[in-house]
Structure 1
Amino acid sequence: LFIYDQAYVCLQNNTIWKPDSCQECRCHRDILICEPAVCKNPRCDFQKGEVLRIAPNTCCPECASGTEGVCQHEGQTHAPGTGWASSECMACSCAAGKVSCTPKSCPPLSCGRGELEYVAQGECCPKCVSTGESCSFDGQMFRDGEEWHLSRCSKCVCRNGATQCFTAECQPVLCSQDEAMAVSPGKCCPECVPKPCSVSGKVYEHGEQWKKNSCTACVCDRGEAKCLKQDCAPRTCEKDQNKVQRPGKCCEECVSSKGSCFYVGLIGPIYLLYIKKRCLDQHSSTR
């Protein structure tokens, strides 16, 4: 079977094509089925200078650096000339958009009599430990002077066969009105972080973006939802054209009234365009 689209192009049954970068269509007998593209939230970090960008011939936005020379490393954005610790034993820096990582330098170590150099698990640099008695704790052996963590808030140390454990004490935290108290992953004590946004029962983190509707985009800024509505320019159509509002689009478009077909319904995310008999009749009359 064959059908005709709005431009009078003959399409064979089961043909699949992309009329634009944001939808894929296929012909099924006398029905044209178009599925709009589904874009994921790119979660740009506006605080670090990232901006939204839609690359040519693509539909979905992506995060792009708003500053020349910035570096991307392990999901983080770093400004030119800055340095950071990639791990306990690796130091990195950003220069001209390129990341350079080198092993962390350890201070010179001079152990005294009766001491040995020892690199504890999870640490980078060696330290001097005495040759005293080891400690047995929870089925494991620890050398004299060795430290280990029971949790993120407590640690123990072996002192000549005796295990001593300590729990961290957190200082009082006073947050401002646009901040909330939270304990970051890997840390023990609470700290102040930007407030999230609660919109229609859904929580968005600081810097997170979402679409309120086809014309309005929003971003969470320290507990406040800031939205920007797209403005549509006045549109005047030709005599043989009609104004239409396409699903997922904000502004009206002009389409030819000759050979046009009608939206009959919406089933899930799939739009069904039934080819009416008069569409074919109009096409036949133009030949």
Structure 2
Amino acid sequence: MLTPCWNLLLTLLFHPCLCQPPGHHDLDVPLQYYDDNVIDLLEALNVTRSIKGVTKSKGREPGSPAWKFRQRVPHLTLPWDYSVYLLSSTQGSLGLHLVAKQAKNNQGTLLTFLSPAAMKRDGRPLLRLTSDTRSDQLRLEYRTPQGMEPASLLLPGGSPFSGSRWVRLALNLDIHKVTLFQDCEEPVVFGQDGEEEMLGLILPLDLEISFASSPGDKASKFLGYWQTAEISPNGFSRRPWHCDNRADSLPLPYSLSEERHMEEDETQPEPGPPQLHALSDTRHYQQQQSEAPPPLLNQGERLQRLDEALRGLASMLEMVKVQNADLLTRVKALESCECRRPACSWEGSEYRDSDTWKMDACNICVCVAGSVTCSLRKDRPQCPGCSHEGRSYSNGETFSGGSCTSCVCQNGAVSCTQKECLPVTCTQKECLPVTCRDPVTPRNECCPRCVTGCSDGHREGAAWRKDPCTSCTCQNGTVQCERESCPDLTCAKRHTLTGQCCATCQQVCELDGRPLSQGQNVTSADGCRHCACQDGELRCTPAMHCPNTCTHGVRRGSCCPDCSACDLHGDIISNGVTFQGNGDPCDSCVCRDGSVLCVRVSCPKLSCALQEEVPGECCRRCQGE
């Protein structure tokens, strides 16, 4: 009697979600299966793409893939939108359809329905199906409709997965009975219609669905192979596969079924006595459902049923109170958040997240999560800089290579020339006499003079360092400086210690926020790259071979990129869309199969004298046009 009330409450709460089954990471996941909206657990959990510890293998049927689960597989929980879909779609019954092969001596959880509020109360799940091939047991844990108390049911015949063989299994759960379908064997039924309710299938608002293990319990991981794992919100009134010897299975396709009937018409069996179906002696277990009408209840029994229902409603109300308090806490936390991306401040200007701008003709900057990152434009030949004696210089920059040498960086190459000294022209005919013992004639002067020091205040013979790379001396009243020569480095990452002139190779790398020492080999946190630290440079190789490769594919929780769109600085660009590269109107780019391809716009020559630039356009135009 609780189910209609809760179904009405769920309909009101989740009305916006009832229009269609849930999506997963913007992927169109079809949920249609034999005219039922089943949830494909392997697809919903992205198992068929990339999960640590899962590898593709051969399935039960030829041409059907399976997925091997090892101990490294993490605990898998469905996204909450699937729970919402199940809450809004379930109508008094649930169905499980599994095709799997379990390893020997493994006690694994097949499926778990959890409620955090109920776990806090008694530490037990709402629903859990486990298979133990060591003790040969298949157990169903559930909740009773009276007070939602935990209970369990040991299914007869042991675990069908024992013996490490492929098994096709379906379980139909409703409030009165449990039906077990295995391959093409006789179905096993617990309970019957008309008897007292057996299972409590009222699903709470904080429902969590876990697959192949119980969260927080490493020993509960299922080890073996999965080919099919599905949940039906409408249950399975018959086995969801075809068996020639069973009338409770799905029919053959029309052409095969028609041919089968034609063969049966030609060979009719001889009439014989009707077969009797043997019933079990146990109270809840039967091979065929009983046709007997339900017994009438007296007033005392009806009052007892009503009292149990009220106690169940009180228990559910306490769970809803706990869930409501948790939801209020989340809402308050969300209300205190600013739902906007952090902006960047650069030289007095504000930029939004993902904005790009030019720092100069050769450097482009981008705002990412509140931080500004600038990089050299390698697409322009005139932009690459130079490295000389351990220091970097931008294109076109001039610098001193010594007291008599001038250098310039041009197109990635350093060119140095000797400075030319102008000839000295002496206008005075006579020089004044000097009284010192060793007079000198300074450069660019005509007459000798006595020297006691240099014009910058240093005494004669003094030596000092002008900067970490320049050594100077005072000789004959003239300051002479020499620049230290640094060796060329082959490493990509280098650093210069304080007080030192020449850079050295950085022997430490960093991956996922962790420092790596020289020669250390590690795997990235997402499991997608094998990396090594060599001469301060992090060198990585893909951990798996991807069928499609692209430079700007979208990462959707998988090591292999989705090449149907492009991800450029966090912006998702649809395939075939053209756009300006780095905000420059002269760069025309297009997203093509997950790769961004850019070309430089060619501008026509203008014959007019007065020209003007148009904001947002690459090419200049004649004024007045």
TM-score, scaled relative to structure 1? 0.26
**Larger Cα-atom Rg:** 2
Report the structure, 1 or 2, having the larger helix content. 2
Report the structure, 1 or 2, having the larger strand content. 1
TM-score, scaled relative to structure 2? 0.14
